[in-house]
Structure formats: structure tokens, C-alpha cells
Structure 1
Amino acid sequence: MEQNETQWDKLLKIKTTGRDDSHSDQYRYPYEPTPYCVLERLANGEWIGKKNTVLDYGTGKGRVCFYLSYQLRCRSIGIEYDERIFAGAEENREHAVSGGRTSFVHTTAESYAVPETADRCYFFNPFSVEILQKVLARIYESYYENPRKILLFFYYPSDEYVSYLMTQEQLLFSDEIACMDLFAGNNPREKILIFEVV
């Protein structure tokens, strides 16, 4: 597993391994990159293509953006509030093989105005349900202003996230990508839930 992580970072010419919880609190959770094997599984589906623009909420050092832009030729925008980690993402962009299709915004997720081109959103438990509510309101706003097919991807969702998402009238549960077989321990949270904005 570790070897795969390092190999992909090397291939993409980025540095994204490791965990950072120096600025986490009850609302914003630690930086921890999505494992590449999970991103491979996501990329192998039909959900994201080169015409899509992916928003990665709590992008950290930008792994999701760089990987998806490289593999799928899509555009990607990473949103990161932590100045120090954001600087790491920007530094990665200077060297990354897919840097041209990737951009980063230094702001809080809830204050980010969703561009009308964005139609895919990725979340790896970046923040609390309180913040998620505000982020979803921003996504719905963008959808109503410019109706389009918007898919939301939630990797390793907490029970709290799942309960909240299932009550959202504007969201339709669309699919699930099983990832449990990729790791030891049979953890039922090892999955990506996919919702469509309706």
C-alpha cells in the first residue's frame, strides 16, 4: 500500500503523503489524503470524464485534483482553508504533470461560490455536518442558477454524514463504489457514496 502511494506521488510529481492535524478542530478535520487505490476505483467508473470539472472540498495538498486531472483529463479545483497546507498544494501545482488543468482556492468551503462549470464534488470527511449544510446550500444555489447534472462523491462517510444526506430532498442517492476489499479489517465505511442533485 505505502509503495503504491509513493509511486503515484512520484509519477504525478507531487508530495501528498502523510497526515496533518495541526489545525483541525471540532468543525474542520485533519488532512489525510484519499488512498490512490480508492481514486483508481473512482476513476475506473463512468462518473467523471474530460468534460467535467471536479471540486475537491478540503483538498489538502491536492492529491484528488492532480490524480483525476491526470487520469481523466478533467479540470479540477481544490478548496482549502488552511494556509500552510494550501501553500503545499500550490507548490505541488508548479511541478505536477497535470498542473495546467488544476487550480486551488484558498478559502473556507462554506464561503466558496460554486462556479457554473463545476459539476462533480468530492468529499473525504473534510468538515462537520454543520459546515456540510452550508456547502450543500452553495451547491444547490449554483444548480438552480444553472441547472446541470451535478454528482457528489462522499468517500469514507461517517454515520452522521450518511444520516444527514439521506434526509436531503435535493439529493438522490445514485450509486455506491465498494472499497472494503482494498483494505484489511472489513470496515463498512470503506466506500464512496454517490448522490445526484435534483
Structure 2
Amino acid sequence: MAPASASTAQVRDRDTAVQRLPEAYAEGQIPHEELDDRLHQVLTGKTHSELVSALASLPEKNAGTTSTIAAAGGRIRRRGAWRVPRILKVASAFGRVHLDLSRAVIENPVVDIELQLGTGRAKITVPRDAIVDVEDLHTGWKDTLYKTRRRSRPGGPRIRISGTMGFGRLKIRHARR
């Protein structure tokens, strides 16, 4: 059982890791002794990086998962406990986009988000320990608003944001908890 101080996201990540390791053992990807060691690491780990390192050498589950969210107009919104695919494509001609990954289930160490936005604002909230890369994002009118965290713990997911934004602004922020 997780410590009482663990957040809901930490408990969810731990549960995902506890489910993934026996699957890897059943598929012959790790021996029994290694299963025991990795489960112990997951159950006693205090940080997200300890969970990631327990799963690091395993092949990615559904590594090629790509999802597309598209709308001609209106609002695109994802928040709460939703499963983030390895590659997420978001397309909108007019309207707002809000992706909240702070409580989302992120199973991949790297997530690529490709934005194809005409007009309208976009806001992405990333996990507290995430590393964000926006080098491949091209903006037509306004610059991206993002300040790198001063103190970030290693081991968080890497969020790579690419694509094109016409008129509008992308605002990226780290979750507070």
C-alpha cells in the first residue's frame, strides 16, 4: 500500500507499474528474481524516477500509440485522469485547446504533442516533474509563454511539443502539486 502522503497521481503511477511488471514476466521479458526486485523498487520508491527506472528496460507497451483530437471550431479539452498516448495530435481551425496532463496517466517516458492550430489560445498543464521541449513549435503571431522550472526533479516525463500555431498563443505551465 502507498504511503499516506502519496498523491493520487503517484498512487496511479505505482498501480500502473505494479500491473506492468507481472505482464512483462509473463511475456518472458524479465526473470522471476528480477520481477521481485523491481516490484520491491516500485512499492518502496518515493519518486517518479524510481518508478520509471523499474520499467526502463522493458519494451514500451503500445509504443506506436497515436491519437488525434480534431475540431473545426469550439473547445478541445482533456483533463482529469485520462490516458496520454505516446503521440497526441491536436488540430483545430478556430477555438481553444486546453490539455491538462497533471493528473493524466502517462505510461511513456516521452510524449510527443503535435499542435496544428489556426486561431485561438492553447494551454498545456504538464506534471510538476516534466521536462518540456518546444523547439519544434512554430508560432506565427505570438510567442509561446513558458518558463522552465528552476528546481525540477529528474525522472519525470519528457513532453515534446511541435507543430504550427497561426494566430494565438500557447501557454505552458507546470502543475503545482
Taking structure 1 as the reference length, the TM-score comes to 0.24
Taking structure 2 as the reference length, the TM-score comes to 0.26
Higher strand share: 2
